[in-house]
Amino acid sequence: MRNPAENAQLALLLEVSGTPKPGNVDRHRDYDDLRFEHFMAGAVGSLSGLRMAADGARVGRAFERAVAGMSDQSGGNTQFGALLMLTPLVRAAATARLSHTGTSDVVEATTVADACDFYRAFDHVDVAVDDLPEDVDALDVRRGSDAVSALREREVTLHDVMTQSADRDGVAAEWTSGFERSFEAAEWLLDADGPIYKRASRVFLRLLADEEDTFILTRNGAAAAAEATERAQSVLDGEEAAEALAEEFVERDINPGTTADLTAAALFVALERGLVV
């Protein structure tokens, strides 16, 4: 029987195996510099950090270690956001608290030390840069571990960091809502029939159709985010082919990364609640 850490790793593997997922790497589609095998290796590498979460380590520390392991492949950042969602979910599952209330308790208990580890995790994925504009805030994530002293001075917890970002980041919004969308999508997976890769694809499309993807919003702008949501709904309505949309979005570099993170979290919750593989 798999433990929560192993189910989280399996969720990462099932997420990237789901197809078609318009704009995402999947078993049929790669980007030039980010490929299916990078995600497989990222999932393998993340396990030690996920085990730390299950064994009672601080959420921030476990997350930083999971990201360090995930990044041990040549593609770069594959599953940062998914791991940020999975780490507290694993901690909740390992302590029989895998519910809205239980996961809220886990994230609200995070500390300043957890926030420091969260910023250190950015050092592993090439987000931190040397030459920042002079007006960049002391807590900008691009500072990576250089922001630690400011976090300690201001006594900012990891839950505080997520709360401050929740209005513009879908992963942070999950942290502050008791992982509402993740639990809902898990029920969609459990209620569906057929191979899991097809269920994951359908859930991905439903999530994308329900709410604009914040990763697209940040990278591609409001018009692209709105288009992605509208066209996901068109696929669900049978007005457009999912495979064709997947090819087009990869070609245009429209990547619903936050939706993929949500799908991974939903797969984990579903596995913990009896999804049979």
d(CA 128, CA 139): 12
CA dist 153 to 114, 126, 157, 164, Å?
Answer: 14, 25, 11, 17
pLDDT value of position 141: 86
pLDDT above 70 coverage of the chain, percent: 96
Q: What is the pLDDT of residues 53-94, one digit of tens each?
A: 999 999 999 999 999 999 999 999 999 999 999 999 999 999
**Mean pLDDT, residues 198-216:** 97
Confidence of residue 131 (pLDDT cuts 50, 70, 90): low
pLDDT value of position 132: 59
Cis before 4 (ω within 30): no
Confidence of residue 142 (pLDDT cuts 50, 70, 90): confident
pLDDT value of position 129: 46
Average pLDDT, the chain: 95
d(CA 243, CA 247): 6
Residue 29, strand partner residues: 26
Q: Which of 83, 41, 78, 45 is nearest to 62 (CA)?
A: 83
**Mean pLDDT, residues 272-277:** 97
Locate the domains of the chain by residue range.
Answer: 4-104+166-272
47 and 21 Cβ atoms separated by less than 8 Å: no
Q: What is the pLDDT of residues 102-117, one digit of tens each?
A: 999 999 999 999 999 9
d(CA 25, CA 16): 7
User: By mean pLDDT, which of 8-22, 85-99, 124-138 is the weakest?
Assistant: 124-138
d(CA 183, CA 139): 30
**Mean pLDDT, residues 183-204:** 98
Confidence of residue 21 (pLDDT cuts 50, 70, 90): very high
CATH fold group of domain 4-104+166-272: Triphosphoribosyl-dephospho-CoA protein (1.10.4200)
Q: Which of 5, 182, 183 is nearest to 87 (CA)?
A: 5
Q: What is the pLDDT of residues 212-222, one digit of tens each?
A: 999 999 999 99
pLDDT above 90 coverage of the chain, percent: 92
pLDDT value of position 128: 46
Total-model pTM: 0.96
